[in-house]
Amino acid sequence: MVSMTIELRNVEGTQAALGWAGGHTVVVDRPDGRAGGKGLGFNGGQLLALAIGGCFCNDLRYVADAAGVSLGRIAVSVTIELEGDPLLTTAATMTVSCETLDGSDPEGMIERARATCMVSNSLRAGIPVTIRSVS
């Protein structure tokens, strides 16, 4: 089994959080005017959509590399639907367009990435989330 851990801490002087994994960082905040947010970074829904689309972009590259196919342009758009109180993501729709540099049909790469995409497959399967308070 492989595990990953990320860290988040508040950004001093703001109500935003700075998240990091290794040498990569991201700012997380609420929209300006919402619960002290200043719009300094992504909100949770945006991060969820970015995780879905970003993982798929990476997996497209992985499957193309394994097949010996070079990809050119990739365009991915993810729309999430939110409803309820508390607010929940009830659906996500991703559209994908990409080109192969050899001119072959990219649909096979898209299908393989769909089959192996960790984030979307994890969400479809439903993962348990445990929240523990520590002092």
Q: Are both 72 and 87 inside the same structural domain? A: yes
User: Is 21 among the domain residues?
Assistant: yes
> Is 133 part of a structural domain of the chain?
no
Q: What is the arithmetic mean of pLDDT over 18-36?
A: 95
**Is the pLDDT assigned to residue 76 strictly greater than 90?**
yes
CA angle 24, 132, 46 (to 5 degrees): 40
Is 37 in the same domain as 53?
Answer: no
> In sequence order, what DSSP letters do the residues of 50-100 get, joined into one string?
HHHHHHHHHHHHHHHHHHT--EEEEEEEEEEEEETTTTEEEEEEEEEEEEE
Over the stretch 84-130, which tens digit does the pLDDT of each residue have?
Answer: 999 999 999 999 999 999 999 999 999 999 999 999 999 999 999 99
Q: Is 134 inside any structural domain?
A: no
CATH number of the domain to which 47 belongs: 3.30.300.20
Predicted local distance difference test score (pLDDT) of residue 18: 97
* Whether residues 3 and 68 fall in one domain: no
Domain of residue 47 covers 43-125
Whether 68 is in a domain gets the answer yes
Say yes or no to pLDDT of 42 above 90: yes
Res 27 pLDDT > 90: yes
pLDDT for the residue numbered 98: 96
pTM (2 decimals)?
A: 0.93
Is the CB of residue 10 less than 8 Å from the CB of residue 17? Answer: yes
Asked whether the predicted pLDDT for residue 62 surpasses 90, the reply is yes
User: Residue 135's pLDDT is what?
Assistant: 83
Q: Say if 135 falls within a structural domain.
A: no
Q: Is residue 92 part of a domain?
A: yes
Domain match, 57 and 117 both: yes
pLDDT over 90, % of the chain: 99
